[in-house]
Amino acid sequence: MDAILQIIAIFAVISGAAFSILGLLGVIRMPDVYTRLHATGKVGVFGVVFLLIAAIVWLPAGRGKALMLILFLLLAGPVTAHALASAAYRTGIPFARPIRDDLEHLASAPLNDADTPSA
Amino acid sequence: MLSTLYLTLGIYVLLLILALWRVWRGENAIDRLIGVDLVTVLTLGILVILALIYRDSIFIDVALGLAALGFITTIALAKHIADEQMF
Amino acid sequence: MQLWMIFGLWLVYLALTSNLEFSNLVVGLLIALGLTALLRPSPYPLRLQRIPGMAWALLRYGIMVGKDVFLGGLQVARFTLDPKLPIHPAVIAIPSGAEAELATALSAHTITLSPGAVVIEIGEQGMMYTHTLDVTMPDEAYFKMQRQRRDLLTRILPSPPT
């Protein structure tokens, strides 16, 4: 039983490391901020979560904590990605080689109330 | 098991150096912020690997704190850059 | 709904302390009660006979999200490893189709969770401006997936107080 758990843990650790390497490779190769965000999301969602799965299997004492950390990462990852993408769009960072942009017609008009100083 | 873990630890430290290089040589503020987020996530991974190496769950507590802190840091800085005001 | 919140907070506390002694159970319950009293969540009407349907929809939603995340991860991995980097980035407007804002927010969260798509902006009437890494699918495919998400989410979420 212990041997099987160990194999699962090793497999999870190796996949986590592989996805993290892929994510970093994506960050270096991608042309602009928005496409880079897709790559970093993968380090958070796949890389660390696979390591935490290994921790759940291999560390009986830390099971609850690791599970909570997985849930937190899955909740927080998209929120961070959206905040960064929104901030990038509002500061006017251009897209690299876009096929089409449905947001274009909104770019001239103020987005929500971001451009008006709030009291 | 242990040799795999030490190898993974080495890989993560290398990736951390690459991410720090991205923070240093970012194209713009958002790019650097993505680098900071990446550094936090990779440090999280290193802490989990340390927990696996020493078989001690106290490192996961540290990882929980770091995850919360990194999340708030990134959100607050992104909002600050976008709106040019904090709250 | 408040009972659910107390129970959830209690479970989180017990998972974090991983200690099932009686004193710890009591302390966790007290903390959960205190937090709920402090935050005062608005009471949602929750009928008991809806719970099996909610659980079933939640399970299907979980499977759907898992499949999306897995396929998206493989796709992004393939793009990253390809020496030519064959990405076709674009911003697509996807109507969320949900009336409740919570359902729109959760749809946007799910879309951003799957690698290869990030919601940049939520505009008028829940229009989600989504940046995708690859737009080889026709628009109708994205809309169909969003309709599936919307249907499951409206079944999971309790009806908001009107």
What is the structure's pLDDT at B69? 93
> Does pLDDT of A109 surpass 50?
no
- Residues C136, C61 share a domain: yes
Closest-CA residue of chain A to C8: A68
Task: Give the domain extent around C29.
Answer: 2-39
C16, C88, C119 ranked by CB distance to A82: nearest: C119
DSSP, residue by residue, B50-74: HHHHHT-THHHHHHHHHHHHHHHHH
A54-63, B13-22, C145-154: range with lowest mean pLDDT: C145-154
A37-41, B60-64, C14-18, C123-127: range with lowest mean pLDDT: C123-127
Chain A nearest C-alpha distance from B64 (Å): 6
Enumerate chain C positions whose Cβ falls within 8 A of a Cβ in A. Answer: 12, 14-18, 69, 73, 76-77, 79-81, 85, 87-93, 108-110, 112-113, 115-121, 123, 129, 131, 133, 135
| CA torsion through residues B74, B76, B79, B84, sign | negative
> Does pLDDT of A13 surpass 70?
yes
What is the structure's pLDDT at A119? 34
Residue C44 lies in a domain: no
Interface ipTM: 0.86
Q: Considering only CB atoms, which chain B residues are within 8 Å of A76?
A: 67, 71
> Does pLDDT of B13 surpass 90?
yes
Written as six digits, the tokens of A75 are: 């909740």
Give the domain ranges of chain A: 9-92
- Mean pLDDT, to the nearest integer, of A53-59? 87
What is the structure's pLDDT at A110? 44
B16 pLDDT band, cuts 50/70/90, is: very high
pLDDT: is A52 or A115 the higher one?
A52
How many C-beta atoms surround the C-beta of residue C72 within 10 A? 23
B18, B44, B82 ranked by CB distance to A90: nearest: B82
What is the structure's pLDDT at C7? 83
> Does pLDDT of A35 surpass 70?
yes
What is the structure's pLDDT at C35? 85
What is the count of structural domains for chain B? 1
Find, among A94, A106, B44, B75, the residue nearest to C121 by Cα. Answer: A106
- The percentage of residues in chain A with a pLDDT greater than 90, rounded to a whole number, is 2
What residues have CB less than 8 Å from A17, skipping those under 6 apart? Answer: A47, B8, B11, B12
For chain C, residues with pLDDT lower than 50 are 161-162
B26: alpha, beta or left? (left if phi > 0; alpha if psi -120 to 50):
beta
What is the structure's pLDDT at C77? 83
What is the structure's pLDDT at B68? 92
Q: Considering only CB atoms, which chain C residues are within 8 Å of A97?
A: 89
Q: What is the pLDDT of residues A64-74, one digit of tens each?
A: 888 889 999 98
CA distances from C133 to A117, B81, C88 (A): 33, 24, 6
Distance in angstroms (rounded) separating the CA atoms of residues B78 and C4: 33
Chains in contact with A, where contact means 3 or more Cβ–Cβ distances below 8 Å, are B, C
- Residue A97 — φ and ψ, nearest 5°? 30, 70
- Residues C62, C19 share a domain: no
Q: What is the DSSP letter of B3?
A: H
CA B24-B28-B33 angle, 5° bins: 65
What is the count of structural domains for chain C? 2
- The percentage of residues in chain B with a pLDDT greater than 70, rounded to a whole number, is 98
- Mean pLDDT, to the nearest integer, of B21-40? 87
Closest-CA residue of chain C to A64: C15
How many C-beta atoms surround the C-beta of residue A78 within 10 A? 22
What is the structure's pLDDT at C55? 82
What residues have CB less than 8 Å from C83, skipping those under 6 apart? Answer: none
Q: Considering only CB atoms, which chain C residues are within 8 Å of A68?
A: 12, 15-16
Enumerate the H helices of chain C as residue ranges.
2-17, 22-39, 51-81, 101-113, 139-156
CB pairs under 8 A between A and B: 135
Q: Considering only CB atoms, which chain C residues are within 8 Å of A106?
A: 121, 123, 129
What is the structure's pLDDT at A116? 40
Task: Give the domain extent around B44.
Answer: 2-83
Strand order in C117-122's β-sheet? C90-95, C127-132, C117-122
Are the beta carbons of A85 and C75 closer than 8 angstroms? no
Is the full-model pTM beyond 0.90?
Answer: no
- Mean pLDDT, to the nearest integer, of A83-101? 77
